[in-house]
Amino acid sequence: MSQHSTVPHDTDRPAASAATDHDPPETAVPADEEPVTCPYCGQPFRESATRALHVGEQHADAHSPAEGEAYESAREAESDELFIYHLRVIAALGVLYAVLVLLYMIVLA
Protein backbone atom coordinates (compact mmCIF):
# COMPACT_ATOMS: atom_id res chain seq x y z
CA MET A 1 0.00 0.00 0.00
CA SER A 2 1.29 3.44 -0.88
CA GLN A 3 2.30 5.89 1.82
CA HIS A 4 1.01 8.76 -0.27
CA SER A 5 -2.55 9.40 -1.29
CA THR A 6 -3.11 11.08 -4.60
CA VAL A 7 -5.53 13.97 -4.35
CA PRO A 8 -6.88 15.38 -7.60
CA HIS A 9 -8.23 18.85 -7.16
CA ASP A 10 -10.48 21.16 -9.13
CA THR A 11 -12.61 18.17 -10.10
CA ASP A 12 -15.90 19.94 -9.51
CA ARG A 13 -15.01 23.11 -11.43
CA PRO A 14 -16.35 23.67 -14.93
CA ALA A 15 -13.97 23.36 -17.84
CA ALA A 16 -11.87 26.48 -18.39
CA SER A 17 -11.59 28.32 -21.66
CA ALA A 18 -8.96 27.28 -24.18
CA ALA A 19 -6.68 30.17 -23.15
CA THR A 20 -6.49 29.00 -19.52
CA ASP A 21 -7.21 25.29 -20.00
CA HIS A 22 -4.76 23.11 -18.12
CA ASP A 23 -4.80 19.80 -16.33
CA PRO A 24 -4.54 20.34 -12.58
CA PRO A 25 -1.57 18.49 -11.11
CA GLU A 26 -2.17 15.52 -8.87
CA THR A 27 -0.71 16.13 -5.45
CA ALA A 28 0.86 13.39 -3.32
CA VAL A 29 0.11 13.91 0.36
CA PRO A 30 1.86 11.68 2.91
CA ALA A 31 -0.62 9.59 4.90
CA ASP A 32 0.55 10.99 8.25
CA GLU A 33 0.16 14.66 7.22
CA GLU A 34 -2.95 16.80 7.20
CA PRO A 35 -2.52 19.27 4.32
CA VAL A 36 -3.67 22.87 4.38
CA THR A 37 -6.33 23.11 1.68
CA CYS A 38 -7.69 25.97 -0.37
CA PRO A 39 -11.22 26.82 0.81
CA TYR A 40 -12.28 27.63 -2.77
CA CYS A 41 -10.93 24.76 -4.89
CA GLY A 42 -9.70 22.23 -2.32
CA GLN A 43 -6.11 22.09 -3.60
CA PRO A 44 -3.80 20.79 -0.83
CA PHE A 45 -0.67 22.65 0.25
CA ARG A 46 2.15 21.69 2.58
CA GLU A 47 2.48 25.19 4.11
CA SER A 48 -0.07 27.85 4.95
CA ALA A 49 2.07 30.51 3.24
CA THR A 50 1.83 28.63 -0.05
CA ARG A 51 -1.93 28.39 0.42
CA ALA A 52 -2.11 32.14 1.07
CA LEU A 53 -0.18 32.84 -2.14
CA HIS A 54 -2.50 30.53 -4.09
CA VAL A 55 -5.66 32.11 -2.68
CA GLY A 56 -4.37 35.63 -3.33
CA GLU A 57 -3.40 34.89 -6.93
CA GLN A 58 -5.99 32.37 -8.09
CA HIS A 59 -9.02 33.53 -6.10
CA ALA A 60 -8.33 37.27 -5.86
CA ASP A 61 -11.94 38.21 -6.53
CA ALA A 62 -13.37 35.90 -3.86
CA HIS A 63 -10.97 35.99 -0.91
CA SER A 64 -11.72 37.68 2.42
CA PRO A 65 -9.82 40.70 3.79
CA ALA A 66 -7.98 38.43 6.26
CA GLU A 67 -6.90 36.18 3.39
CA GLY A 68 -5.79 39.28 1.49
CA GLU A 69 -3.59 40.31 4.42
CA ALA A 70 -2.18 36.77 4.63
CA TYR A 71 -1.43 36.94 0.89
CA GLU A 72 0.41 40.26 1.24
CA SER A 73 2.39 38.92 4.20
CA ALA A 74 3.32 35.72 2.34
CA ARG A 75 4.23 37.70 -0.76
CA GLU A 76 6.51 39.99 1.28
CA ALA A 77 8.20 36.99 2.93
CA GLU A 78 8.66 35.30 -0.44
CA SER A 79 10.15 38.50 -1.87
CA ASP A 80 12.64 38.68 1.02
CA GLU A 81 13.62 35.03 0.56
CA LEU A 82 14.09 35.57 -3.16
CA PHE A 83 16.31 38.62 -2.52
CA ILE A 84 18.54 36.59 -0.16
CA TYR A 85 18.72 33.82 -2.76
CA HIS A 86 19.81 36.31 -5.43
CA LEU A 87 22.52 37.68 -3.12
CA ARG A 88 23.83 34.15 -2.58
CA VAL A 89 23.87 33.44 -6.31
CA ILE A 90 25.77 36.67 -7.00
CA ALA A 91 28.28 35.84 -4.25
CA ALA A 92 28.77 32.32 -5.62
CA LEU A 93 29.31 33.66 -9.14
CA GLY A 94 31.82 36.20 -7.81
CA VAL A 95 33.77 33.51 -5.97
CA LEU A 96 33.70 31.25 -9.03
CA TYR A 97 34.99 34.09 -11.22
CA ALA A 98 37.80 34.88 -8.75
CA VAL A 99 38.85 31.23 -8.57
CA LEU A 100 38.88 30.92 -12.36
CA VAL A 101 40.97 34.08 -12.71
CA LEU A 102 43.45 32.82 -10.10
CA LEU A 103 43.71 29.42 -11.78
CA TYR A 104 44.20 31.10 -15.15
CA MET A 105 46.98 33.29 -13.70
CA ILE A 106 48.68 30.24 -12.15
CA VAL A 107 48.53 28.27 -15.39
CA LEU A 108 49.99 31.15 -17.42
CA ALA A 109 52.74 31.92 -14.90
Query: pLDDT at position 98, please?
Result: 98
Angle between helices 48-58 and 65-108 (to 10 degrees): 110
Count CA atoms within 13 Å of residue 22 on its CB side: 6
Instruction: List, in order, residues 6 or more apart from 41 with CB less than 8 Å away.
Output: 9, 10, 13, 58, 59
Compute the mean pLDDT over every residue in the chain, rounded to the nearest whole number: 83
Query: pLDDT at position 78, please?
Result: 95
d(CA 44, CA 76): 22
Query: pLDDT at position 70, please?
Result: 94
Q: Are strands 44-45 and 4-7 parallel, antiparallel or unpaired?
A: unpaired
Query: For residues 4 and 99, which has the higher predicted lDDT (pLDDT)?
Result: 99
pLDDT tens readout for residues 15-26: 444 445 666 667
Query: pLDDT at position 35, please?
Result: 86
**4 DSSP 8-state letter:** E
pLDDT tens readout for residues 33-67: 888 899 988 888 888 999 999 999 999 898 899 99
Q: Give this prediction's pTM.
A: 0.64
Closest by CA position to 74, among listed 36, 25, 34: 36
